[in-house]
Amino acid sequence: MSIQEEVQKRKTFAIISHPDAGKTTMTEKLLLYGNLIRSAGTVKGKKSGKFATSDWMEIEKQRGISVTSSVMNFAYEGFHINILDTPGHEDFSEDTYRTLTAVDSVVMIIDSTKGIEAQTIKLFKVCRMRGIPIFTFMNKLDREGKEPLALLEELEEVLEIDTYPMNWPAGMGKGFLGIFDRENEQFVQHHPGEEESYIPYTDLENHPELTENATYQDAVNELELVAEAGNTYSEEAILNGELTPVFFGSALSPFGVQTFFDSFIRLAPSPTPRKSTKGAVKPEEEDFSGFIFKIQANMNPAHRDRIAFLRVCSGKFTRGMSVTLARTGKELKLAQSQQMVASSRETLEEAYAGDIIGIYDPNAYQIGDTLLTGKEKYEFDELPQFPPEIFKKVMAKNALKSKQFRKGIEQLVQEGAIQLFRDKLTDSFILGAVGELQYQVFTYRMENEYNAQVTMEPIGERIPRWLKPEQADPSLFDSGNLLARDRYDQPLVLFRNEFALNWFKDKNPDVELIDLFETNNYQ
């Protein structure tokens, strides 16, 4: 096949949602369709001993949540599917945000019993700002929840996006009859505990047990209302991220997942051009290019390895090829390349635009690095950084473990698991994170992967502002407004609060304060 034909087969997407909306369960069902697993293990507590395939880190199994972004790929109906299962917990939004830079579309799962929740809004905003097409799956229809019309209204008002229901539910909870599949003009009937069945619209008159049901008739009336007063279907609007197709169903049953996935595969975009310093890079270009959006250490604790996750943007990747690291100009050989299903891996011989591959990191890569072949040198647009909201001083519990302590911090910071700053006066380590759970995972991984116990001292919420090196005068700052440096040795101040920041601006109008997150802040 030509590069262009291979690119057209690729569908690369992330699944986003609020915690417990059913995201990992949906991922498991899609893996079943791809014949990657034989039975889906729902995310449960540690007592059951049964865990979701996409949750591989030990702490995930203990807590029953996804805390790192997993990558899975499989063949389905002639397409090559790449799924990124992002962590739903709000404390891991930084990793989640970065993952969204590597996908071409997004599946947003909403718990129909709760509606739109805070984390969904934050993730959705990132997708809207990046113009990523969004497909919505209203989950848990087999439970009593909000009315479908109310859910659509909430989606349009809260997220400010037009909706188009691709199917329509008849009932919910114990009275759930099934869905009207508008695209395929069939009624998909729900049988609790059994396979769903399909009745063409033309054959519905032969099913009076269904058509004479009051719940069914109510759904028909609602569907007529939606058809008359709802938004017009437009594939162009979907691809521009202006209209979200909405599907109703239940990932756990599973019900409506197959019809959703078949429609999604048809509508979701294949890889598109990527912005770079030389302009748009087309996926079908002959020269290989890609960027690193995630680094994960210790996926195999026995080997203490580091894997860099690379999104292929153009050309063809072949194992053993030599590439240039654009940031340094250094040439590297990509001999160890893998494709992932959570923590299990297989050697990968070739890949095309849209594919996500794991490459061995000899401690040479950083998040956002561009790898390429060919004579033309360029870099893909910088990955956004996100402002930490909580800061803590951290130190090794045992001074004799300082070597392990430093190595652990260095690797976890390079992974993007946490942000590191150093106190300019004392040189002590300060960690910045988006939420408290991020610190818990940091502490757990330091102890279990690097054998280094840590102690932390909270310094509260802070507002970071960078300085020009020549203006970083220690005499201007006190312990309340900490003068520090970031991991790249650039000076910054951690202001105590908005008042302290404004007071400093008034007193020192000549000092330029730079908000590095300003242009990339998706909060």
List the binding residues for GTP. 17-24, 85-89, 139-142
Distance between CA 217 and CA 206 in Å, rounded? 15
SS3 state at 243 = strand
- Cis before 165 (ω within 30): no
Residues making up the chain, counted from first to last? 523
Distance between CA 290 and CA 365 in Å, rounded? 13
Where does residue 293 rank: exposed (0-12), middle (13-18), buried (19+ CB within 10 A)?
buried
Return binding residues: 17-24, 85-89, 139-142
How many helices (H) and strands (E) in the chain? 13, 30
8-state DSSP, 240:
T
Which residue type does 162 have?
Answer: D
SS3 state at 275 = strand
Short-list 134, 389, 352, 325, CA closest to 243: 134
What does the CA dihedral 358, 363, 368, 370 come to, rounded to 10 degrees?
-80
Distance between CA 221 and CA 410 in Å, rounded? 60
Distance between CA 257 and CA 242 in Å, rounded? 23
The answer for residues whose C-beta is within 8 angstroms of residue 102's C-beta and 6 or more apart is 12, 14, 84, 291, 293, 294, 309, 311, 356
Contacts 24+ apart (CB under 8 A), 412-417: 412/297, 412/442, 412/445, 412/446, 413/487, 414/295, 414/297, 414/366, 414/367, 415/294, 415/295, 415/296, 415/297, 415/367, 416/94, 416/95, 416/98, 416/294, 416/295, 416/367, 417/95, 417/441, 417/442, 417/445
What separation in angstroms does the CA of 492 have from each of 308, 460, 474, 504, 518?
29, 17, 11, 13, 15
Short-list 115, 119, 129, CA closest to 435: 119
Could you give the strand order of the β-sheet that contains 197-200, starting from the edge strand earlier in sequence?
A: 167-170, 178-181, 186-189, 197-200
Distance between CA 315 and CA 351 in Å, rounded? 9
Question: In this structure, how many other beta carbons lie within 10 angstroms of the beta carbon of residue 235?
Answer: 13
